Structure 1
Amino acid sequence: MQARVTDHRSDVAVLQLCGELDADTASQLHATLADLMERPVPRIVVDLTELKFCDSVGLSAFITSKQVIAARGGWLSFAGANPFLAQLMETVGLGRYFAIFPEVDDAIAAAQL
C-alpha cells in the first residue's frame, strides 16, 4: 500500500491510499494517521479511489484513530470507495460512525458546512 497526504485547504488533509491495506501494510497506515492526528484539529478525508483491498486490520486502524481525532474536535471521512469497499464498509457498519462520500470533492465540500 502507498499513502500520500495532500492538503486541500489549510484545515483539511486528504489521505490517498493505493494498493492493498492489510496486516502487512497496516503499520504504514497507523504511522501516517499518527502524523495527521498531531494537527491541532485533525480533519481527514481518506481517498479510497485507488485502494483495491482492505481487511479487518486496515479497518481497525481507522476505528481506533477516530477516538483521538474526535477528542481533538476533528473528523475523519471516506470518499471514492470501489463497490467491494463500499459493501464492506456497509456490512461492518462504518456508515454509522464515519461520513462516507462518493467523491473526494464531496467530502471536502461537506467540510465547509
Structure 2
Amino acid sequence: MDVAVTDRADGVVLMAVRGALDIDTAPRLREAMHGALDRGRCRIVVDLGDVEFCDSVGLGTFAYSHNRCVADGGYLRLAAPSPFLAGLLETVGLTGRIPVHATVSDALASAPGG
C-alpha cells in the first residue's frame, strides 16, 4: 500500500491510497494522517479510487482519523471508493459518520461541514 500526501493551498490534505489497506499496511495511512494532524492540518480527503482491499483495521483507521479530525475542528472525507468498498463502508455504518463522495472533486468541493 502506498499513500501519496498532497498539502493543498486551500488547507486541505489530499491522501491518495493505492493497494491493499489491511493490518500490515494501515499503520502507514495512520502515520500519514497523524503527520497531517500534527502539522495542524485537520481537513483531510482520502482518495480511495485505487484501493483494492480494506479490512477491519483499515476501517478502524478511518473511524479513528475521523474522530481526531473532528476533535481538531476539521473533517475527514472519503472519495471514490469502489462499489465493494462503498458497500462495506455502508454495511459497517461508517457512511453515517464520515462523508463519502463519488469523486475526489466532489469531496473537495463539498461544504465545510461535510
1:84 is matched with: 84
Match of 1:12 in 2: 12
The 4+ residue runs of structure 1 with deviation greater than 4 A are none
Q: CA deviation at 1:29?
A: 1.2
Query: Mind listing any 5+ residue stretches in structure 1 that lack a counterpart?
Result: none
| In the alignment, structure 1 residue 96 sits paired with structure 2 residue 96 | yes
1:63 is matched with which residue?
63
1:24 aligned onto 2:24: yes
- Which shifted more, 60-69 or 49-58? 60-69
Name the structure 2 match of 1:2: 2
Q: 1:4, 1:111 → 2: CA distance?
A: 24
Q: Is the contact between residue 45 and residue 108 of structure 2 (CA under 8 Å) also seen in structure 1?
A: yes
Per the normalisation by structure 1, the TM-score is 0.92
Residue identity in the other structure for 1:80: A
Note the alpha carbon deviations across 1:43-76, whole angstroms, 9 max, x for none.
0000000011100001101111222211110000
TM-score by length of 2: 0.92
Distance 2:34 2:89 in 1: 22
Q: C-alpha root-mean-square deviation of aligned residues, in Å? A: 1.5
Alpha-carbon shift at residue 10 of structure 1 (Å): 2.9
The size of the alignment, in residue pairs, is 113
Q: Structure 1: how far apart are the matches of 2:79 and 2:65?
A: 17
Partners of 2:35 and 2:90 in 1: how far apart?
Answer: 27
**Which SS does the other structure have where 1:33 is aligned?**
helix
Name 1:53's counterpart in structure 2. Answer: 53
| Structure 2 gap segments, 5+ residues each | none
Letter aligned with residue 46 of structure 1: V
SS at match of 1:98: coil
Letter in 2 for 1:32: A
